[in-house]
Structure 1
């Protein structure tokens, strides 16, 4: 369990969305309840919310199914979903978990953009595809990553329209700040604005390349966050989505994503001894044989904070790794979220604070402290403070700890990230690709 000491008290207000670090939106053993993460000994700054705040830290609810009619119904369902307001999101039971998940994504995306830049010549264009982009929750990440061009695609046409609107707002804000120099110090400044294209498509059924403005484009990075697992309903869908991810990746480029960890899910199912399990934040109900789950179509319903309730599919990772090789993708990294946090917390501590990825315990206001006490999910944090001699009763200005509630931590540690790299491609006499 990672802990970081810090001896600076920072003022706090009511929990709000961070101003410009995106949406308070990166294997098989999870952290148990006694291993809930604890971070810096300080009060975490609560920053004013902003209309530029992105909202993509919770898993996407989009369902990608092979039946075209069913796909249309599902896309229609999510097209009709109304966007929640910033204040409403800030009061969500999973506010900090969503921020934490978004922090994972920020670190992951930045890591692989940096890997690409390390190998590229100065001034080389950096082109990215955001596959299953949703409403554009990662747009600020791409802007801050100083990419050159972005392709955004999603099954839900309304989401794509909202994504494009967000992009236009970024351009407008950049122009309004006089070009948006990264070092200007202005709130919302995002650096160089990239060009972008947007289109709706089902990545498990349609060849995305045919919809690009330039079908010959070579991508440096493909990102698919909290959505790839839906393609594991069938072999055909999984292969189609992998082909879409790999087809335009240049040699050495990366395909990154975040998915539920099938091993962890099955571990919890067997520990529960039931096909339905979870806590007050999430619930999983299996709709397939849990004794011998199929490689494809291992279906379960996933409910998050009583809102998201849709079918998802286990991703058998050894199968994914083998399928990816068929399209020239070699696995280079995978980690559970708890492992990734432990590895990245030191370098990413400033962003944790900025994005409010952890909750201050004890809370700064009486209402916050009463809420925490009523939930009864912070004994790990209280024990930590007791061991430090703080007493945990609010006495001692520096005796604070950043954490997640036990239920939020259990939900977040259901997930893992992966990274594949495109191998060198040559061709045999029959025109078939050979990867090495």
Structure 2
């Protein structure tokens, strides 16, 4: 592709017209034209997060929770890549990764039938790290990897369509992991975010993600004594116990070493209503507990649980938590097995109650792009299961 010598522009290879270059400098120029600073707070937080090595991550109090969250994302992405394959998308998937961060999902894309991924994030530093990670992966794969495009943008305020290399770009799969609730600061931002995620999806394409479960926020807030709740690894604080507003209902969220910034309540109903305006229908809404129960028996996904250490072994000589009672649920299962099989030496995989209290705030979701004349209906029942994940590994 020929490029203009002007650093602020690049030339589109399809029709030759000039388009603004989506680098960090142009992003900051665009940001000066939009109001509001909460996005800047979030971007600043993630820009300042240091890169951590494996040794440092293993010392984290939420090491297994983060691995478990990664497992949920992996299974969700793999499930809908397979579904696209079985539904006829065999020529290679084109995907949009909104809120891609530092590129933690690049390998997940590489393992699927994916031809191209456009990665976009609000945090410029994260995008630079994502590009570096992609370059490293491409070198290791000797070039045998999907094509990629990287965009620094606030997807809740800017129209992504104007920033793509190809203005006619279409997608088969859009992923937004642990991000969409940030856009519910206002109705216009939520609409812009969902429009960016859905307007360029092909018919039959999927919009998938993970977000905070507003019903669980409501339940824990109602049970709290002082408008806040949490434990040693996470905390959530509201200003009051008032009824949640549809938009702009803020709370402060802290997750040990990972998140410390304002977030916004995003209910299933509001997300579903906005998505419907862009031809989407909800096909999946599961608590992480329910999602685990639905997928943990699959051989491939069960092996992945073990491989990425998404569950902590119990009993263990060095448990991740020293809080009394944090593994009582695992001990009870092991005791039951030993009672039935006295000669056994049972071992299970699970999360501590402390880590699970944080992880169980989230849900996984998926929407499908349907034709306006399509009368297909989808029954997506409420998902309120929040049992601690547990897998018997040996008896």
Normalised TM-score (structure 1)? 0.74
TM-fit CA distance, 1:69 = 4.2
Match of 1:350 among 294, 298, 303: 303
Which is bigger in relative contact order (C-alpha 8 A, separation at least 6)?
1
Q: What's the secondary structure of 1:319's corresponding residue?
A: helix
- The CA distance in 2 between the partners of 1:266 and 1:125, in whole Å, is 41
Q: Structure 1 unaligned runs (5+)?
A: 1-65, 180-191, 427-434
Mapping of 1:418-429 within 5 angstroms? 418-424=365-371
Matched, 1:298 2:265: no
Within 1, Cα distance between the matches of 2:42 and 2:178? 17
| 1:235 equivalent in structure 2 | 187
Residues 31-430 of structure 1 aligned to structure 2 (within 5 Å): 67-120=35-88, 122=90, 124-175=91-142, 192-287=144-239, 289-305=240-256, 308-347=259-298, 348-363=301-316, 365=317, 368=318, 372-373=321-322, 375-389=324-338, 398-424=345-371
Deviation at 1:328, TM superposition (A): 1.2
Please state whether the residue corresponding to 1:231 is helix, strand or coil: helix
Tell me the CA shift for residue 133 of structure 1.
0.3
Question: What SS is found at the alignment partner of 1:332?
Answer: strand
Instruction: Indicate conservation of the 8 Å contact 1:301/1:310, yes or no.
Output: yes
Q: Is the 8 A contact 2:121 2:154 kept in 1?
A: yes
| C-alpha distance in structure 2 between counterparts of 1:295 and 1:245, whole Å | 20
Matched position secondary structure for 2:51: coil
Distance 2:178 2:170 in 1: 24
Q: Following TM superposition, by how much is the alpha carbon of 1:373 offset from its aligned partner in structure 2, in angstroms? A: 5.0
Whole-Å separation in 2 of the counterparts to 1:272 and 1:71? 28
Cα separation, partners in 2 of 1:72 and 1:315, compared to 1, 3 Å: closer
Question: In the aligned structure 1, how far is the partner of 2:372 from the partner of 2:166?
Answer: 21
Q: For this pair of structures, how many residues does the alignment match?
A: 339
1:398, CA displacement in angstroms?
Answer: 3.9
Q: TM-score, normalised by structure 2?
A: 0.81
In structure 2, C-alpha distance between the alignment counterparts of 1:97 and 1:379, rounded to whole Å: 18
- Cα distance in structure 1, aligned partners of 2:264 and 2:323: 34
Write the distance in 1 (CA, Å) between the matches of 2:258 and 2:67. 17
Aligned-pair distance for 1:396?
7.2
> Quick check: 1:390–1:396 contact (8 Å CA) kept in 2?
no
- CA shift, 1:362, in A, is 1.1
Contact 1:282 1:306 in 2 (8 A): no
CA distance in 1, matches of 2:66, 2:45: 22
Summarize the Cα distance change of 1:378–1:73 in structure 2 as closer, same or farther, 3 Å threshold: closer
Distance 1:322 1:269, change over 3 A: same
For residues 125 and 350 of structure 1, what CA distance do their matches in structure 2 show?
Answer: 26
Q: Secondary structure at the match of 1:217?
A: coil
Residue 424 of structure 1 and its aligned partner are, at CA, apart by: 1.8
Following TM superposition, by how much is the alpha carbon of 1:350 offset from its aligned partner in structure 2, in angstroms?
0.7
CA contact (8 A) 1:146 1:193 kept: no
1:50 maps to what in 2? none
